[in-house]
């Protein structure tokens, strides 16, 4: 265990020194949720939602985060916002650890980091008008007041492609795509530098998804935003991301430049995941790697490689180590002893 | 096993030929306090023996209501099949219909979690079908249930057959649903978004299973999905639906190679695309979105329902609705500009 930690330390330091200026650095982040296993048992068990996660997000880049449901994507996104308290670890935003921040510091910080939620139906208060919803960040953060505030709100609506009369209407009057635009406008109100977008298009129809993705890309460029883009839709992640991290059972198992990851996946899980994407082209003849079984329970995490039970390439040595992220190429890391 | 097959090759006289199901002029409406909503407004299609028809469209386009209309499961009130024919299913008595459902036509729902009964074991639910439709006794039904679970790829089926839905994972629940659907060897299976609630690696497993079963059992399928990737993989023919109508209907190959309706073209163009090598991967290449939003069914635009979003609409599109016409062999389109 000790030797593994040092290997991991080294590899995370490597990634920290690489590339230009990270806006956000995550180090050994852990989040364990306690679960009660039975009424009479004393033994405490934990869901390992984030289990020693380290990575950087560089200024101005979009980092895609993919993985199957229950792998810890959403938990990780919320930990970065400190909407959840981690069990241990660091989240450094522009070099300062947000986990150690007090309430006042955190409030200032939250102007700079914002989140866009998955479900535009559940994340807007149905009893507030769009104007009220968009004014809230200004009130909370004591930003522009009076007529200046009103014109700012009008600007925000225009930025996300909604008409000005939206201001006095209620969320239920809008379609899913329009609601997501409202959610994006709210996130932009405080001029953030970093945005967590948690499955921002997965509840939208196909023809609307493209509109929202285009909007996010335009805004990202215009405001020079850094973004963590969480999604289970690999095609969309591939389209929007500069780099992509693949998560499995609370751990990042591969991280690389987007094109590199999709054309040269190294981890057997990534390979299987990519091969499983249905391609909208009947002529595409691509070999598919079918994984056996289901995602194992995040409670009983094995001490060895966590993908072992489903891995088509497993060897006996995989049972001896919980592999850290190894450098496997230019700016490309994978947690598999076979590609070390 | 043999008895099941024998029973299914003595079909009811009406479904003798290659056509398993004929839907014509089907119209289903919901009579709500806010007015009449025409969820399905006059659709026609055939399902051929052993073939998979993909039904594609966005939420609210009438895919699911079409399936429910075929099964005569539209909640009434408020909904009702107003006109049209589904072979002769619409004229049957409820009692006769019960012997069709599950036996000749079965359904796989999107959400395996909510469509299985939580207080019965997986085995109970499959056995019920076998006992009711095929008159098996309990012991035989249990044996057959175990065989079916094995056939849909559930490991240690002798044990799983006695488990409750909550003890199974999402993928396994969907396998149980599929086992139920094929248990009486139906002529037609309607699968409504069968993989939408599943993760991509599990989705791949289930799609493989459906393809395998279709080959083994030779059953026809209506596959409802919004995912063109899933359709490209499983379907033989595709019908694209928009606002309660079929706007394009052709073979899968033709659809992906030569889409004619502007809506179909828009759907295909809005997907991120990459070639095999990934070289075409250019970030910042904008996706081609379809402008506007899906219209409300209670407040449909005049003329062609797609005209407000259509990039090539002309004057006639606003005034009159085009018909679904065959523009080349086996390729039907509902568009003024393609006729």
Encode pLDDT of A21-42 as tens digits: 899 999 999 999 988 666 666 6
Look at A178 and B293 and tell me if their CB atoms are within 8 Å: yes
* Confidence (pLDDT) at A15: 42
| Residue B189 pLDDT exceeds 50 | yes
* Confidence (pLDDT) at B199: 84
Tell whether A171 is covered by a domain: yes
Q: Does B289 touch chain A (CB under 8 A)?
A: yes
Q: Does B201 touch chain A (CB under 8 A)?
A: yes
Mean pLDDT for the stretch of residues A282-286:
80
The percentage of residues in chain A with a pLDDT greater than 70, rounded to a whole number, is: 92
* Phi, psi of B59, rounded to the nearest 5 degrees: -60, 140
Q: How many CB pairs under 8 A join A and B?
A: 126
Residues 94-133 in A contacting B (C-alpha not used; CB under 8 Å): none
| Residue B60 pLDDT exceeds 50 | yes
Instruction: Tell me the CATH number at A98.
Output: 3.40.50.300
| Residue B63 pLDDT exceeds 60 | yes
Residue A244 or residue B213, greater confidence: A244
* pLDDT tens string A229-262: 999 889 899 999 999 999 999 999 999 999 999 9
Give the chain B residue whose CA is nearest to the CA of A278.
B229
* Confidence (pLDDT) at A42: 65
Round to whole Å and give the CA distance between B219 and B105: 10
Q: Does A208 touch chain B (CB under 8 A)?
A: yes
Nearest by Cα to A212 from A244, A238, A180: A180
* Confidence (pLDDT) at B283: 55
* Residue B288 binned pLDDT confidence (cut-offs 50, 70, 90): confident
Q: How far is B210 from chain A (nearest CA, A)?
A: 14
Instruction: Determine which of A70, A218, A239, A299 to mutate to test the interface with B (most B C-beta atoms within 10 Å).
Output: A239
* pLDDT tens string A110-130: 999 999 998 888 889 999 999
Q: How far is B309 from chain A (nearest CA, A)?
A: 11
| Residue A20 pLDDT exceeds 70 | no
Give the chain A residue whose CA is nearest to the CA of B256.
A281
Tell whether A125 is covered by a domain: yes
Domain that holds residue A84: 2-334
Mean pLDDT for the stretch of residues A202-227:
90
Round to whole Å and give the CA distance between A263 and A266: 10
Q: Is the dihedral of CA A336, A23, A27, A45 positive or negative?
A: negative
Contact status, residue A310 vs residue B205, Cβ threshold 8 Å: no
Look at A282 and B232 and tell me if their CB atoms are within 8 Å: yes
Give the chain A residue whose CA is nearest to the CA of B202.
A294
Look at B267 and A206 and tell me if their CB atoms are within 8 Å: yes
The minimal CB distance from B204 to the residues A178, A207, A276 is found for A276
* Confidence (pLDDT) at B231: 94
* Confidence (pLDDT) at B114: 85
Tell whether A340 is covered by a domain: no
Q: Does B282 touch chain A (CB under 8 A)?
A: no
Instruction: Determine which of B153, B201, B280 to mutate to test the interface with A (most A C-beta atoms within 10 Å).
Output: B201
User: Given its phi and psi angles, is residue B337 left (phi above 0), alpha (psi -120 to 50 degrees) or beta?
Assistant: alpha
**Which residues sit opposite B23 in a β-bridge?**
B45, B86
Total count of domains within chain A: 1
What residues of chain B lie within 8 A of the CB of A68, using their CB?
199-202
* Residue B315 binned pLDDT confidence (cut-offs 50, 70, 90): very high
Look at B232 and A175 and tell me if their CB atoms are within 8 Å: no
Mean pLDDT for the stretch of residues B309-313:
92
Q: How far is A129 from chain B (nearest CA, A)?
A: 21
* Confidence (pLDDT) at B141: 94
Q: How far is B250 from chain A (nearest CA, A)?
A: 14
Contact status, residue A307 vs residue A253, Cβ threshold 8 Å: yes
Mean pLDDT of chain B: 87
Helix (H) or strand (E) holding A147: helix A146-159
Tell whether A339 is covered by a domain: no
* Confidence (pLDDT) at B280: 46
Tell whether A188 is covered by a domain: yes
* Confidence (pLDDT) at B279: 46
* Confidence (pLDDT) at B164: 93
Give the chain B residue whose CA is nearest to the CA of A162.
B292
Give the chain A residue whose CA is nearest to the CA of B199.
A68
* pLDDT tens string A161-184: 998 889 999 999 888 889 999 999
Q: How far is A225 from chain B (nearest CA, A)?
A: 14
Look at B268 and A280 and tell me if their CB atoms are within 8 Å: yes
Q: Does B293 touch chain A (CB under 8 A)?
A: yes
If one counts every other C-beta atom within 10 angstroms of the C-beta of residue B110, the result is 20
Tell whether A10 is covered by a domain: yes
Tell whether A72 is covered by a domain: yes
Mean pLDDT for the stretch of residues A292-321:
88
What residues of chain B lie within 8 A of the CB of A298, using their CB?
none
Instruction: Determine which of A119, A162, A282, A287 to mutate to test the interface with B (most B C-beta atoms within 10 Å).
Output: A282
* pLDDT tens string B113-150: 888 999 999 999 999 999 999 999 999 999 999 999 99
| Residue B17 pLDDT exceeds 80 | no
Residue A39 or residue B305, greater confidence: B305
Residues 97-136 in B contacting A (C-alpha not used; CB under 8 Å): none
User: Given its phi and psi angles, is residue B191 left (phi above 0), alpha (psi -120 to 50 degrees) or beta?
Assistant: beta
Q: Is the dihedral of CA A244, A247, A252, A254 positive or negative?
A: negative
Give the chain B residue whose CA is nearest to the CA of A282.
B232
Look at B203 and A235 and tell me if their CB atoms are within 8 Å: no
* Phi, psi of B109, rounded to the nearest 5 degrees: -95, 165
Using alpha carbons only, what angle is made at residue A65 by residues A64 and A71, rounded to the nearest 5 degrees?
170
Residues 259-318 in A contacting B (C-alpha not used; CB under 8 Å): 259, 262-263, 272-273, 275-284, 286, 288, 290-291, 293-295
**Residues making up chain B, counted from first to last:** 339
Round to whole Å and give the CA distance between A121 and B284: 29
């Amino acid at each position: 265990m000790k030797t593994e930690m040092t290997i991991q330390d080294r590899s995370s330091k490597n990634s920290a020194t690489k590339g230009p200026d990270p806006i956000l650095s995550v180090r050994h982040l852990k989040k364990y949720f306690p679960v009660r296993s039975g009424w009479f048992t004393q033994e405490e068990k934990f869901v390992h939602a984030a289990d020693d996660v380290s990575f950087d997000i560089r200024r101005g880049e979009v980092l895609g985060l993919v993985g199957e449901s229950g792998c810890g994507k959403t938990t990780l996104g919320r930990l970065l916002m400190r909407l959840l308290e981690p069990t241990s670890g660091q989240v450094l935003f522009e070099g300062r650890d947000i986990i150690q921040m007090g309430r006042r510091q955190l409030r200032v910080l939250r102007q700079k980091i914002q989140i866009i939620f998955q479900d535009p139906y559940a994340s807007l208060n149905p009893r507030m008008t769009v104007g009220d919803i968009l004014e809230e960040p200004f009130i909370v953060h004591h930003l522009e007041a009076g007529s200046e505030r009103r014109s700012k709100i009008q600007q925000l609506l225009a930025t996300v492609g909604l008409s000005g009369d939206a201001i006095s209407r209620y969320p239920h009057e809008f379609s899913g795509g329009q609601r997501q635009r409202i959610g994006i406008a709210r996130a932009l109100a405080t001029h953030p530098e970093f945005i967590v977008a948690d499955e921002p298009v997965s509840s939208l129809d196909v023809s609307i998804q493209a509109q929202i993705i285009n909007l996010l890309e335009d805004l990202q460029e215009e405001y020079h935003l850094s973004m963590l883009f969480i999604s289970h839709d690999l095609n969309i992640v591939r389209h929007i991301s500069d780099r992509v991290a693949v998560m499995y059972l609370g751990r990042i198992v591969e991280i690389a430049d987007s094109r590199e990851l999709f054309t040269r996946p190294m981890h057997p899980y990534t390979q299987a995941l990519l091969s499983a994407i249905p391609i909208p082209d009947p002529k595409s003849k691509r070999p598919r790697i079918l994984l056996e079984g289901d995602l194992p329970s995040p409670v009983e995490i094995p001490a060895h490689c966590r993908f072992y039970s489903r891995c088509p390439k497993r060897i006996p040595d995989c049972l001896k180590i919980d592999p850290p992220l190894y450098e496997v190429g230019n700016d490309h890391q994978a947690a598999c002893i076979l590609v070390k | 096993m043999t008895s099941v097959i024998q029973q299914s090759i003595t079909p009811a006289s009406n479904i003798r030929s290659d056509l398993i199901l004929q839907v014509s002029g089907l119209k289903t409406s919901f009579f709500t306090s806010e007015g009449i909503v025409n969820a399905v407004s006059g659709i026609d299609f055939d399902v051929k023996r052993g073939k998979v028809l993909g039904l594609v469209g966005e939420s609210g386009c009438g895919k699911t209501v079409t399936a429910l209309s075929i099964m005569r499961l539209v909640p009434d009130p408020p909904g009702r099949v107003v006109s049209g024919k589904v072979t002769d299913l619409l004229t049957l008595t409820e009692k006769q219909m019960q012997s069709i459902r599950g036996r000749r036509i079965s359904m796989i729902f999107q959400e395996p979690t909510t469509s299985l009964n939580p207080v019965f074991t997986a085995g109970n639910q499959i056995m019920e079908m076998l006992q009711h439709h095929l008159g098996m006794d309990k012991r035989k039904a249990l044996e057959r249930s175990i065989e079916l679970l094995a056939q849909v790829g559930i490991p240690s089926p002798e044990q799983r057959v006695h488990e409750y839905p909550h003890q199974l994972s999402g993928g396994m629940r969907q396998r149980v649903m599929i086992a139920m659907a094929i248990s009486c060897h139906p002529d037609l299976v309607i699968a409504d978004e069968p993989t939408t609630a599943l993760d991509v690696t599990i989705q791949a497993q289930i799609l493989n299973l459906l393809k395998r079963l279709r080959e083994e059992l030779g059953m026809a399928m209506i596959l409802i999905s919004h995912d063109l990737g899933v359709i490209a993989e499983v379907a033989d023919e595709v019908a694209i639906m928009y606002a309660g109508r079929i706007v394009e209907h052709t073979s899968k190959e033709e659809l992906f190679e030569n889409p004619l309706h502007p809506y179909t073209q828009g759907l295909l163009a809005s997907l991120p695309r990459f070639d095999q090598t990934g070289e075409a991967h250019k970030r910042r290449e904008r996706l081609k979105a379809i402008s506007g939003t899906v219209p409300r069914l209670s407040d449909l635009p005049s003329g062609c329902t797609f005209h407000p979003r259509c990039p090539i609409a002309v004057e006639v599109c606003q005034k009159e609705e085009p018909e679904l016409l065959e523009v080349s062999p086996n390729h039907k389109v509902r568009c003024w500009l393609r006729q």
